[in-house]
Amino acid sequence: MQKKYLKNGFSIPLLGFGTWLMCGDKVRNMKNDDRIDIKSIQTAIDNGVTHIDTSEYYAQGHVEKIIGEAIKNYNRKRLFITSKAIPINLGYKNLIKSAHSSLKRLNTDYFDLYLIHSPNLFIPIKETMKAMDHLINNGFTRSIGVCNFTVSRLETAQNYAQNKIVVNQVNYNLIIREIERKNILGYCQNNDIMIIAWAPLQKGILAKNNSSVMKKICKKYEKTPAQIALNWLISQKNVVTISKMRNKKNLIENLGTLGWKMENSDIEYLRSNFPNVKYLSDTIPLEYDKFLKSYISNWVKSKNNSGHE
Ligand SMILES: NC(=O)c1ccc[n+]([C@@H]2O[C@H](COP(=O)([O-])OP(=O)(O)OC[C@H]3O[C@@H](n4cnc5c(N)ncnc54)[C@H](OP(=O)(O)O)[C@@H]3O)[C@@H](O)[C@H]2O)c1
């Protein structure tokens, strides 16, 4: 699997395997046939995928467990494992505890990359970054990063960390362009930080895109819409991606995005002409504080109105 490098030596595969919505949602689906999910991870590895992305959040940690099961007979050194701590666990002690629980479930003694899943404005970032430094300084992770961080949050987090934040994992694809509008893409490109684009196919929607703009580029490169959507990301400086590809047909199709690079003029053509672009993530908007504040105030209001304690 081809990799991208930062100047500081960090490297990461161009395309990784996402695991959100395996084994359930935020709650584990007890009826899920885990053997199918385990097999899909192994099929991906057998076809050259090395980066597997997960979180303690996914199916209440159960996805980490099935990844541990899937990778147990593979050479750990050849894999790149990422996990994440959820916002509620960003206090110093909780974060270290979360990391150790994830490692245990994953059946490994280190992460290649450990991420803050989303910011938490109620826990001082200084405390969180001290815990992230502890994990890297003691060999529990090779590198550290964040998800869904604005530029100002990234700068603040970096100011409190001894180690470099090498990744910002964000919602980015041909439709969702929030990170372009908020200069996160430019900032990361200029500051030696890798973007991992999540939901690169906008949860599969882009694979079915039949706009004239998409058709024109598919025809030129003789590729499918999914391959074009993924290649548009990985052809950009400091951008790699992860897609959930449980279905083998999707996996093989997506691997066809590797080994070639879109011309810059086509990257810019798609950037400027792709239809129905949105400048806010429809899943996790980066103006997270506003979102969280209004969520909490609505919750307090509804509690007061209902007369409950
Ligand atoms: N940091 C964060 O806050 C955050 C948030 C969300 C997600 N993530 C991570 O990012 C990963 C990627 O996001 P995502 O899973 O939403 O990615 P995605 O690639 O945009 O969407 C995955 C969906 O598209 C389908 N698909 C994949 N390739 C396809 C193809 N060639 N043709 C048609 N359908 C295709 C998959 O189906 P099958 O699985 O059936 O093949 C799956 O349903 C997640 O899995 C998770 O690990 C991180």
pLDDT tens, residue by residue, 78-91: 999 999 999 999 99
Q: Grade residue 148 by pLDDT with cuts at 50, 70 and 90.
A: very high
For the packed helices 225-234 and 264-273, what is the interaxial angle rounded to 10 degrees?
A: 110
Structure confidence at residue 294 (pLDDT): 65
Question: Is 58 annotated as catalytic?
Answer: yes
Q: Report the alpha-carbon distance of residue 211 to residue 203 in Å, rounded.
A: 17
d(CA 1, CA 239): 15
Q: Is the pLDDT of residue 134 over 50?
A: yes
Residue 308's pLDDT is what? 43
* Mean pLDDT value of segment 49-77: 97
pLDDT band at 284 (very low <50, low <70, confident <90, very high): confident
Mean pLDDT of 46-52: 98
> Hey, whose CA ends up nearest to atom 13 of ligand 1?
199
Residues 254-278 have a mean pLDDT of 98
Domain 3-282 CATH superfamily: NADP-dependent oxidoreductase domain (3.20.20.100)
**What pLDDT, on a 0 to 100 scale, did the predictor assign at position 121?**
85
Closest by CA position to 157, among listed 90, 86, 89, 80: 90
The dihedral sign for the CA sequence 146, 58, 228, 225: negative
pTM of the predicted model as reported, rounded to 2 decimal places = 0.94
Is residue 108 a contact partner of residue 81, using CB atoms and an 8 Å limit? yes
Helix, strand, coil percent values for the chain (each to nearest 5): 45, 15, 40
pLDDT band at 292 (very low <50, low <70, confident <90, very high): low
> What's the rounded mean pLDDT across residues 142-149?
97
- Give the Å distance between the CA of 89 and the centre of ligand 1: 25
Q: Whose CA is nearest to atom 37 of ligand 1?
A: 245
Token reading at 246: 């449980």
Question: What DSSP state is assigned to residue 75?
Answer: -
Give the H/E segment covering residue 277: none
In this structure, of 167-176, 248-257, 298-307, the range with the lowest mean pLDDT score is: 298-307
Q: Please, which residues bridge with residue 197 across strands?
A: 170, 241
Binding site members for substrate: 117
Task: Indicate whether 1 pLDDT > 60.
Answer: yes
State the average pLDDT over residues 148-152: 95
Helix (H) or strand (E) holding 147: strand 144-147
CB 143 within 8 A of CB 112: yes
Backbone angles phi, psi at 241, to 5 degrees: -145, 170
